[in-house]
Amino acid sequence: MKGTHANLSKEFITTSDKTDWHNDALWFLRAKRDKQRDTIEDWEKLRSTAAAIKDHTLSRLADYLQTFEENALQNGMQVHWAWDDAELREITASILRENNARSVVKSKSMLTEECGLNPYLEKEGFDVVDTDLGERIVQLRKEHPSHIVVPAIHLKKEEVSDTFHEKMQTEKGNADPGYLTAAAREALRKDFIKADAAITGVNFGVAESGAVVVCTNEGNADMGVHSKKTVIHCMGLEKLVPGYKELAVFTRLLARSATGQPVTVFTSHYRKPRPDVKQHIIIVNNKRTDIYTDPEFRQAMRCIRCGACMNTCPVYRRSGGHSYHHTVPGPIGSVLAPFYGKEKNKDLPFASTLCGSCNNVCPVKIDLAGLLYKWRQKLTDETSADTSKKMSMQVGSSILKSHKKYGMVTTAFRWVPKSLLQSKFNPWNSKGEDGKKARVFPEVPGETFRQWYKKRQK
């Protein structure tokens, strides 16, 4: 069970001093989100409207996809359909080959991350440069994004400075974010000039107009799209909205929920290619039809990938995104992950306290805690059991079922010496990087609650 969330988060918690810092960084986003919420008069109704729009769109998804394709074709776009990750990779590579494109600038796309596009293209001999600053940082470090909106949130500026010094020859030890951003801008400008093609993700597809909408703060998607002759937009099939009227609801919610901005700096609507430009849209399934077919889990397809559930999740905030060993981390990631491998992702729905904070912030009102709870039941039945967990559950159940056994065990537990409970033999205890104790088993009170209660009655 080496790669489980529990083990990976232990690494994050005990081998770095980042836990509190990471926790605060994410909570900062959550607090900014709350401020934005308070400026909108009808916020709760905005959320429920968004959920209803998504449910409506999903109930007619096949029709809307066809409408979208017809309109996009009429606008001069080329439309492709990919059944799975492999097909997305192949279509992309063949478009690039047909247009003699060897190097690509790519803006943020969790979908292509999910489909392993970068490693595939690199293996096939293409150069791929991620142009979102956060994604560029993790790409240079050969890591994966630890968050879907702020990919480098797990890194301190000193680490970024070291990476840039090594890869881009910036001044050693200069960790000023302004300096580092300027250096990245200069380096990326050269990549934009050199590239033959641009690839983007998609935030929304507008069925009635055939437009794809991409939201960025940096403007990096547009730098590529408007300067290259070959452009590819990769879109998950759940990204559709019926028309502009509905798009208004989502542009009001997305950035407010994600980073606490009233809107992203750039909301670009690509409808028609420039003259002499080949612009492609790849509509991607990759197991989305499996989620769609499951009536209990279909609501997870409402997700607009804002990341609000991660920013608020007490487990995500303290364990870091890489503990989740799935492309999308946090509560929504743990709901989606079992569709991509029940056995390998069976631990993820347990990486939650089920506190429900994610439900309260989700802009499309997905019952995340409820769905995580459902997965726990299903996965316990449908996957191989972890022996230690199974045994401890059986022991626990037999003790909790019997009043007598419970009394005996809780009394006996008090005899275990504190020196043993707080020693390294108890896996509960952990040490931080500095060798100091990071988590210590709490002291056991001298008497049980019942003993205390009875004494008090007298």
Partner 1 sequence: MNSKEKILDSLKKACGDPLPRPEIDLLYDKTALVEEYVRTAEASGTEVFLGEEENITGIITQWSEGQKIQSSVPRLREKYPLVFDEDMPFDQDNIPGVFVAEASFGVVENAALWFTDEELTSRLLAFIPEKLIILLSRNHLVATMHEAYARIEEGKTFGFGLFMAGPSKTADIEQTLVKGAQGAKELAVILY
**Near partner 1 in 70-129, by CB under 8 A:** 75, 81-83, 87
Q: Give the Cα separation of 274 and 226 in Å (integer).
A: 8
Looking only at residues 381 through 410 of this chain, which bind partner 1 when binding is defined by CB under 8 A?
Answer: none
Looking only at residues 160 through 189 of this chain, which bind partner 1 when binding is defined by CB under 8 A?
Answer: 160, 177-178, 180-182, 185, 188-189
Segment lying near partner 1 (by CB under 8 A), choices 220-228, 352-360, 363-371, 384-392: 220-228
Q: Nearer to partner 1 by C-beta: 28 or 453? A: 28
Residue 324 C-beta: closest distance to partner 1, Å:
20
Residue from the set 222, 367, 386, 447 that interacts with partner 1 by CB under 8 A: 222
Q: Is 193 in the site for partner 1 (CB under 8 A)?
A: yes
214 beta partners: 268
Q: Which of 6, 25, 26, 3 is nearest to 14 (CA)?
A: 6
- What strand order describes the sheet that includes 127-130? 78-82, 278-284, 230-236, 197-200, 103-106, 127-130
Q: Give the Cα separation of 154 and 148 in Å (integer).
A: 12
Residue 250 C-beta: closest distance to partner 1, Å:
9
Residue 393 contacts by C-beta under 8 Å, 6 or more apart in sequence? none
Radius of gyration (C-alpha) of the chain in whole angstroms: 25
Q: Give the Cα separation of 92 and 234 in Å (integer).
A: 9
Segment lying near partner 1 (by CB under 8 A), choices 239-247, 321-329, 335-343, 373-381: 239-247
DSSP string, 265-323: SEEEEE-SPPTT-EEEEEEE-TTHHHHHH-TTTGGGGG-----HHHHH-HHHHHH-GGG
Residue 28 contacts by C-beta under 8 Å, 6 or more apart in sequence? none
Residue from the set 95, 150, 235, 362 that interacts with partner 1 by CB under 8 A: 150
Q: Is 311 in the site for partner 1 (CB under 8 A)?
A: no
Residue 204 C-beta: closest distance to partner 1, Å:
12
Q: Nearer to partner 1 by C-beta: 98 or 158? A: 158
Show the site string, 249-278: x = touches partner 1 by CB under 8 A, - = not: x-xx------x--xxxxxxxxxxxxx----
Q: Give the Cα separation of 85 and 82 in Å (integer).
A: 7
Residue 339 contacts by C-beta under 8 Å, 6 or more apart in sequence? 287, 290, 291, 297
Residue 39 C-beta: closest distance to partner 1, Å:
8
Residue 322 contacts by C-beta under 8 Å, 6 or more apart in sequence? 8, 12, 143, 144, 146, 154, 329
Q: Give the Cα separation of 1 and 371 in Å (integer).
A: 24
Q: Nearer to partner 1 by C-beta: 283 or 348? A: 283
Q: Nearer to partner 1 by C-beta: 35 or 439? A: 35
Q: Nearer to partner 1 by C-beta: 237 or 351? A: 237
Tokens in use for 256? 């407010």
Residue 235 C-beta: closest distance to partner 1, Å:
12
Q: Is 364 in the site for partner 1 (CB under 8 A)?
A: no
Residue 223 C-beta: closest distance to partner 1, Å:
5
Q: Nearer to partner 1 by C-beta: 46 or 197? A: 46
Q: Nearer to partner 1 by C-beta: 48 or 411? A: 48
Helices and strands in the chain, H and E counts: 22, 12
Looking only at residues 15 through 74 of this chain, which bind partner 1 when binding is defined by CB under 8 A?
Answer: 25, 28-29, 39-42, 45-46, 49, 52-53, 55-56, 58-62, 65-66
- Residue 412: its H or E element: helix 403-413
Task: Report whether 226 contacts 214 (CB < 8 A).
Answer: no
Residue 437 C-beta: closest distance to partner 1, Å:
27
Q: Nearer to partner 1 by C-beta: 10 or 167? A: 167
Segment lying near partner 1 (by CB under 8 A), choices 114-122, 146-154, 343-351, 404-412: 146-154
Burial-class residue 111 by CB neighbours within 10 Å (0-12, 13-18, 19+): buried
Residue 384 C-beta: closest distance to partner 1, Å:
28
Residue 446 C-beta: closest distance to partner 1, Å:
46
Q: How many CB atoms lie within 10 A of CB 169?
A: 10
Judged by CB under 8 A, the number of residues near partner 1 is: 91
Q: Nearer to partner 1 by C-beta: 109 or 131? A: 131
Q: Nearer to partner 1 by C-beta: 121 or 231? A: 231
Residue 143, SS3 per DSSP: coil
Q: Give the Cα separation of 324 and 337 in Å (integer).
A: 9
Residue from the set 141, 168, 192, 406 that interacts with partner 1 by CB under 8 A: 192
